[in-house]
Amino acid sequence: MYFMTLSTQTAWLFLLAIPIACVAWTVTHEKVFKEPREFCSNQSKTSKLLLARKFFYLFTCEYCFSHYVTVFFLLLTDFKLLLDDWRGYIIAGFALVWVANLYISVFAFLRQGIKKEKTEIECMEEEKSSL
């Protein structure tokens, strides 16, 4: 990959963090992965081997899992940040994890607010219908 300008690198950083956040959130929170996640959660709590407990925990924690998703995307895109050698991969990796988890936190906060509003509306509708 050719060396990108700082503004191009910044754009890549904030754009590449979106699919990383999406994959990490989907695997660790959404119903489509509920059964594998429950299996992993159970194994992370009950396995006799420390290494097995840590391995299975990775699939239940969006922060931990986002590191591995980031490594995949770094290999896929050859994205480097600030430096055009192996150090650029390390800097890019940690920066991508940080931005992706920022996106995840904002999404979780928004989703929580939406869920709260839905619950409040349902309660008001129940009160209204009981009158």
Tell me: pLDDT of 1 over 70.
Answer: no
Whose tokens are 């890019």? That residue is: 92
Could you report the per-residue pLDDT of 25-78, keeping only the tens digit for each? 999 988 999 999 999 999 999 999 999 999 999 888 889 999 999 999 999 999
Residues 4, 13 contacting (CB under 8 angstroms):
no
Tell me: pLDDT of 98 over 90.
Answer: yes
Task: Provide the token pair at 44.
Answer: 């992370």
Q: How far is CA 63 from CA 23, 26, 60, in A?
A: 11, 12, 9
**In the chain, how long is the greatest CA-to-CA distance?**
69
Quote the DSSP letter at residue 30.
Answer: S
**Looking at residue 118, what is its pLDDT?**
83
Task: Say how many residues make up the chain.
Answer: 131
**66 CB contacts (<8 Å, ≥6 apart)?**
20, 21, 24, 97, 100, 101, 104
Whose tokens are 């509306």? That residue is: 121
pTM for the structure as a whole: 0.80
Task: Give the Cα separation of 101 and 70 in Å (integer).
Answer: 11
